[in-house]
A and B are shown apart, each in its own frame.
Chain A
Amino acid sequence: MDFEDTPEEAAFRKEVRAWIDANAPKHLEAELRRANFGSSGVVSEDPIAAGKAWQKKKAEAGWACLHWPKEYGGAARTPIERVIWGQEEGPYAALSGPFTIGHGMCGPTVMAWATEEQKRERLPPLASGEEIWCQLFSEPAGGSDLAGLRTRAVKADDGSGDWIINGQKIWTSGAQNSDWGLLITRTDPDVPKHKGLTMFFLSMRTPGVEVVPIKQANGASGFNEVYFTDVRIPDTQRLGAVGQGWEVSLTTLMNERLSIGSGMSAGFPELFRFCMEAEVDGRPAVEDSSVRSKLAQFAVRQSGLKYTGMRAITALSKGETPGPENSIGKLVAGATMQDLSIYALDLQGQAGVLWDESSPQNGRFQSMLMRSPATRIEGGSDEILRNIIGERVLGLPGDIRVDKNVPFKEIPTSGKRK
């Protein structure tokens, strides 16, 4: 066992480090180090523009979408090289926030299902950051039960082969900045729900698409509602066969959970630093035995995540596929983040209620408290993740599905009970 690079990995790391050192936007480093929960931390300039500039620079030098094939704007690097790049990019990775969904989820789906011509047309501008993509999946009636979605795509009756889309999506991250969207719709309500879905991609500027930001519980607006009113798109923008949408969506969702779960910090280093400085009963908090017990439990969850990630990197380094242990990442990080932030406020005493310039670490723990409920829901809720671990890792049977073999239109919904 060791944490050393192989000679090839070390050479690659050296090359990456030198390039980043010579090219990174260092004037933004201090702001980026304050990055927190989806915001890049950049305030001195437009974060989207800053992200696009960094992505373009990387693409021009061959450092964008490292694992993608070269013909689609990638660099055809190995998974372990991608990991090393991520480690070396450090704080500047936060600049790539706007591209996370496009690069991590939409791109791989397009790569798996689009025509060669579409791939060569759409993927390079996604890789280089010229174009931002969003994922139009969740709906008011279909979140955890994604296949319950109700947005309809109907063939136009003019013989053009075009599709007319009507409906509503919700929780769409980054839709307000996006150029393109990956859209899952219902094309046949007369068959069981998983069988009547079809996947498309479309320009977010297509007439009839309206993006409305959602004001979240924490006051921020990262998520959106997206409304579709008689939106017409050509059949060529379909991914997979009509009725194959569920299968196509699994490509995206598999990538989503990998992308959201990997390398997450649960916030322990920051809590530990806070406890080194804070006082409990006139002594440093870290000297108090009850504080120590709490901290230790947070510490082992954080280090467990860290070394689980390293076990995955070990597999990649050997050219193997990482095991199922990575499925715990987001489940552990989300819940730990929430518990940890509640505890950090507790240690701040009655002043923990404040979320202003007097709050320790720029109000990091208050931000974490208010953002963490979303982490436990987005990209697969805690409960869905437990189902996945139970069924796919431990081999337990699925729940009995009362809607499985019923035509979609006959399934009871919240407003329509039998």
Chain B
Amino acid sequence: MSIKEIVHQCRETNDYARLVEAIPYAQTIGMGCMKAGEEVIFTLPAIKSNIGNPTLPAIHGGVLGGFIEQSAQLHLLMLMETPTYPKVVDLSIDYLSAGLFRDTFAECHVLRMGRRIANVAVTLWQAKKDEPIATARAHLLLS
């Protein structure tokens, strides 16, 4: 089944677990997604294979980057009229504090969704939502 077909199926049930399961990279980093009404929160459970700094231990900065990219892509897929898999054009991440070895959450805000390009801001947190561990913005190509 193609990504497009899976998205349509997920929309009917309002359950996007199947979409996350269909993407090998998302599975590798252990991603999940929760829906609370219209809001979506993406989850990155603490799993050992995501560790970067072994002494703290802390989650690999690259995994947090991958989590951000994947969250932005999935978030847009859920919103797009004709869901085509968005391509990341650029991404800028500010790491505010170490991503400790614990569950991480992401929330996306679409600041602009044009016909071809979307600008998405992503915030990551662990303990409290108002204490972000990283913020990012990305441009994604929609067509």
Does A pair with B? no
